[in-house]
Amino acid sequence: MSSWLFAQYPEAPALADVLPPRKARGKVAMFIHRYPTIVIGGVLLALVLGMAIFAPFLWTVDPTALAPAKRTRPPSELYWFGTDMLGRDIYSRVIFGTRVSLMVGFAVAALSSVVGLFIGLCAGFIRWLDTVVMRVMDGLMSIPSILLAIAFMALLGASVQNVVIAISIAEIPRVARLVRGVVLSLREQAYVEAAIASGTRVPLIIWRHILPNTLAPMIVQATFICASAMLAEATLSFIGAGTPPTIPSWGNIMAEGRALWQVKPFIVFFPAVFLSLTVLAVNLLGDGLRDALDPRLAKRI
Amino acid sequence: MFAYILRRVAATIPVMAVVALFVFSLLYIAPGDPAAIIAGDQASPADIERIRISLGLDRPFLVRFGSWVWDVLNGDLGTSIFTNLPVTHMIAQRIQPTLSLMAITLAISLTIAIPLGVVAAWKQGTMIDRVAMVFSTLGFSVPVFVVGYVLAYVFALSLDWVPVQGYTPIEQGVVPWFLNLILPSIALGLIYMALIARITRATMLEVLSQDYVRTARAKGAGQRAILFVHALKNAAVPIVTIVGIGFASLIGGAVVTESVFAIPGLGRLTVDAILRRDYPVIQGVVLMFSFVYVLVNLAVDLLYTLFDPRIRY
């Protein structure tokens, strides 16, 4: 090219021979850098899980042991989180309460995913069933989920198992909708049509083509269901329609501290902090998984 | 337009039917024989049987469902087992505090969450955006009653700015009414705000990258005009949708918030009814709230046509 064009400009400073080396990151550091929320949420959740599993070894005492002489003691060296109005050690109750929360969270996530997946697949593949099933799901979804759970709990009576069932029923329609949506969009895909054309049976199509594609959105959905189930369990227990009062759960500890919250706020405070942190951990994990598993969605929500 | 409204209204009928069937089954399979309860302890089995027939409890499920639906359509939700008052009467007594709570919550949530989402989208990636999104993640994670207790402890007990608990009817003055409801409304609205702010931000981000926004910039429209006239109006449909869907969290949260702040509304009524196993009341409240929820979402669907005249189903 004609160099005279540029002649009037001073020469640009020469580029350094070697660019400063890019900071090399190991695989682990790279992962932390790319998905900080997965790491933070995962670590927090692992801690909570450890607390639930090793509850008896974490310097706890019997969470149901009464000590009427030592009622509503404030936090001290002996009673780290104080004692409640029956003299029970709140620290031990909170640590053991982790078990109920996690159990309910995971059980609801698993149960509603499995049932929702089944219903969604049926609705997506069986034409005549679709309208009926989806109308029923719409109906269930138009009952606010806490009220639906309250109604079931009033009917079934208090137990952890019933809490899981009651919350799952409210969550199943959401999973079913998600799965049905995926199925309907996948059915139009060329590779599914090719499989149908070549005579593949429906169960095999589901196993080979549909399930792998529902997995990612379902994992994300399951994390959020887990978080909202833990909140729902605490809410139900708090209003007296959840876990039976004999079992220490975060909701129950708060429900018992309710009458005294103006004078002894620590009774409500400690389980509240644990509950909020645990739910936050699961939500962060869910956010991170959504970004990691579906980059197209990451920008949107 | 008219046909669209008609079709949309008609579409809520099957949904309401499913809700009604579910709510009715709740009472149908509830433990405890209403005839035995009414007859009392001294009644013989023959007496109970007579009462059962006179109440029509011996009829098949679908017949009873039909007559129950007829009663509901005529404004009869049955009688409370505990107080012997009509359920509609009990609901009417308690509805004002709950309506007030929801109205204030809705107002506060919308005025905070939508501008917050807009600003977060506008200043995407900056500190404001990050803080807003952290706030919204927290809003999802902290239960309503915990927020309620913290707010009440700080602003009512420690600072003594507002009353701690209770409710003042609006007839006794708007200011005390509002002061009593401000903390519960913020507590109840937090998760709602988080939801709305997130969706607003996400939709605004999408809209702000559209060509017509660039055109508006090019013709010299002010930043505020671009954000609130050009962008927000086009982002309205998803935002209004989430306002409608999120209304369920307001209803569920109201039950808990009213317990925390000792507000004598429908939530308290529900909690009391659970403790007393007063099934007709539980049934009535669930039915009413679900009906409200369906109506709110119907209203949202009709609003679509206002924001986006292209929508014609």
DSSP string, A4-67: GGGTTSPPPPPPPSSPPPPPP--HHHHHHHH-HHHHHHHHHHHHHHHHHHTGGGSS---TT---
B14 and B62 fall within a common domain: yes
Q: Which residues of B271-290 are buried (b: 16+ CB within 10 A; e: fewer)?
A: bbbbeebbbbbbbbbbbbbb
Residue A16 has which token pair? 């350094």
Query: Per-residue pLDDT tens for B225-255?
Result: 888 888 888 888 888 888 888 888 888 888 8
Cα(B296)–Cα(A297) distance, rounded to whole angstroms? 28
B119 and B184 fall within a common domain: yes
Handedness of CA B22, B24, B25, B29 (dihedral sign): positive
pTM of the model: 0.83
Query: Per-residue pLDDT tens for B2-55?
Result: 787 888 888 888 888 888 888 888 777 776 666 676 677 777 778 777 777 777
Is it the case that residue B296 has pLDDT exceeding 80?
A: yes
* Number of compact structural domains in chain B: 2
CA distance A156 to chain B (A): 9
Within a domain: residue B81? Answer: no
The 3-state secondary structure of B176-218, one letter per residue: HHHHHHHHHHHHHHHHHHHHHHHHHHHHHHHHHCCHHHHHHHH
Query: Do the chains contact at A142 and B19, CB–CB below 8 Å?
Result: yes
B154 and B273 fall within a common domain: yes
Within a domain: residue B106? Answer: yes
Cα(B313)–Cα(B3) distance, rounded to whole angstroms? 9
Residue A288: which residues within 8 A CB-CB, separation 6 or more? A35, A36, A37, A38, A39, A41
Residue B139 binned pLDDT confidence (cut-offs 50, 70, 90) = confident
Q: Which residues of B148-159 are buried (b: 16+ CB within 10 A; e: fewer)?
A: bbbbbbebbeee
Handedness of CA A59, A60, A66, A70 (dihedral sign): positive
B95 and B42 fall within a common domain: no
Query: Do the chains contact at B274 and A153, CB–CB below 8 Å?
Result: yes
Which residues span the domain enclosing B31?
2-73
Within a domain: residue B129? Answer: yes
CB B215 within 8 A of CB B285: no
B116 and B47 fall within a common domain: no
Closest CA in chain A for residue B30: A155
Within a domain: residue B313? Answer: no
The burial of A137, by beta-carbon neighbours within 10 Å (0-12 exposed, 13-18 middle, 19 or more buried), is given as buried
Is it the case that residue A7 has pLDDT exceeding 90?
A: no
Mutation target to probe the B interface, by most B beta carbons within 10 A, among A37, A45, A147, A223 is: A147
Mutation target to probe the B interface, by most B beta carbons within 10 A, among A142, A280, A283 is: A142
CB B71 within 8 A of CB B49: no
Rounded mean pLDDT, B268-278 = 83
Cα(B150)–Cα(B179) distance, rounded to whole angstroms? 17
Residue A229 binned pLDDT confidence (cut-offs 50, 70, 90) = very high
Is it the case that residue A85 has pLDDT exceeding 80?
A: no
Q: Tell me which of B73, B105, B129 is where a domain ends.
A: B73
Closest CA in chain B for residue A151: B282
How many percent of chain A have pLDDT more than 90?
Answer: 13
CA distance A114 to chain B (A): 22
Cα(A270)–Cα(A274) distance, rounded to whole angstroms? 6
Query: Do the chains contact at B252 and A279, CB–CB below 8 Å?
Result: no
B150 and B284 fall within a common domain: yes
B288 and B139 fall within a common domain: yes
Is it the case that residue B79 has pLDDT exceeding 60?
A: yes
B160 and B225 fall within a common domain: yes
Mutation target to probe the B interface, by most B beta carbons within 10 A, among A38, A130, A146, A153 is: A146
Q: Which of B141, B199, B256 lies closest to A238 in CB terms?
A: B256
DSSP-based three-state secondary structure for A233: helix
Chain centroid, CA B191 distance in Å: 13
User: Domain residues of chain A, as ranges?
Assistant: 23-298
Q: Which of A143, A145, A283 lies closest to B140 in CB terms?
A: A283
CB A290 within 8 A of CB A301: yes
One-letter identity of residue A210 = I
B108 and B255 fall within a common domain: yes
Cα(A178)–Cα(A224) distance, rounded to whole angstroms? 13
In degrees, to the nearest 5, what angle opens at C-alpha A238 toward C-alphas A232 and A240?
A: 105
Cα(A186)–Cα(B119) distance, rounded to whole angstroms? 37
Q: What is the pLDDT of residue A298?
A: 47
CB A267 within 8 A of CB B169: no
Q: Tell me which of B17, B50, B73 is where a domain ends.
A: B73
Whose structure tokens read 């405070």? Answer: A269
B63 and B113 fall within a common domain: no
Q: What is the pLDDT of residue B245?
A: 86
Q: What is the pLDDT of residue A222?
A: 92
Is it the case that residue B123 has pLDDT exceeding 50?
A: yes
Query: Per-residue pLDDT tens for A173-227?
Result: 999 988 998 888 888 888 888 988 998 888 888 888 888 888 888 888 899 999 9
Q: Is the model more confident about A57 or about A98?
A: A98
The count of other CB atoms within 10 Å of the CB of residue A26 is: 8
Q: What is the pLDDT of residue A301?
A: 43
Q: Which of B22, B153, B255 lies closest to A146 in CB terms?
A: B255
In chain A, what residues touch B15 (CB-CB under 8 Å)?
135, 138-139, 142
Q: What's the ipTM?
A: 0.81
CATH number of the domain within which B158 lies: 1.10.3720.10
Q: Which of A241, A272, A287 lies closest to B274 in CB terms?
A: A241
Handedness of CA A45, A50, A52, A55 (dihedral sign): negative
Q: Inter-axis angle of helices A266-293 and A211-238, to 10 degrees?
A: 170
Cα(A299)–Cα(B16) distance, rounded to whole angstroms? 36
Mean residue pLDDT of chain A comes to 82
Q: Tell me which of B20, B50, B73 is where a domain ends.
A: B73
Is it the case that residue A245 has pLDDT exceeding 70?
A: yes
CA distance B246 to chain A (A): 10
Q: Look at A114-123, A253-262, B113-122, B262-271 and tell me which has the smallest mean pLDDT.
A: A253-262
One-letter identity of residue A64 = T
CA distance B215 to chain A (A): 23
Number of H helices, E strands in chain A: 12, 0
Within a domain: residue B80? Answer: no
Q: Look at A50-54, A74-78, A203-207, B102-106 and tell me which has the smallest mean pLDDT.
A: A74-78
Name the percent of chain A in helix, strand, coil, to the closest 5: 70, 0, 30
B59 and B123 fall within a common domain: no
Residue A113 binned pLDDT confidence (cut-offs 50, 70, 90) = very high
Mutation target to probe the B interface, by most B beta carbons within 10 A, among A37, A155, A228 is: A155
Handedness of CA A127, A133, A135, A138 (dihedral sign): negative
Closest CA in chain A for residue B147: A272
Is it the case that residue B208 has pLDDT exceeding 70?
A: yes
The candidate with the shortest Cα–Cα distance to B26, out of A236, A170, A152, A163, is: A152
Residue B168: which residues within 8 A CB-CB, separation 6 or more? B176, B177, B179, B180
Cα(A291)–Cα(A31) distance, rounded to whole angstroms? 13
Pick the CATH number of A23-298 from 3.40.50.300, 3.40.50.970, 1.10.3720.10, 1.20.140.10: 1.10.3720.10
Cα(A268)–Cα(A253) distance, rounded to whole angstroms? 7
Mean residue pLDDT of chain B comes to 84
Which string of DSSP letters, residue by residue, matches A152-186?
Answer: HHHHH-S-HHHHHHHHHHHHHHHHHHHHHHHHHHH
Cα(A157)–Cα(A175) distance, rounded to whole angstroms? 26
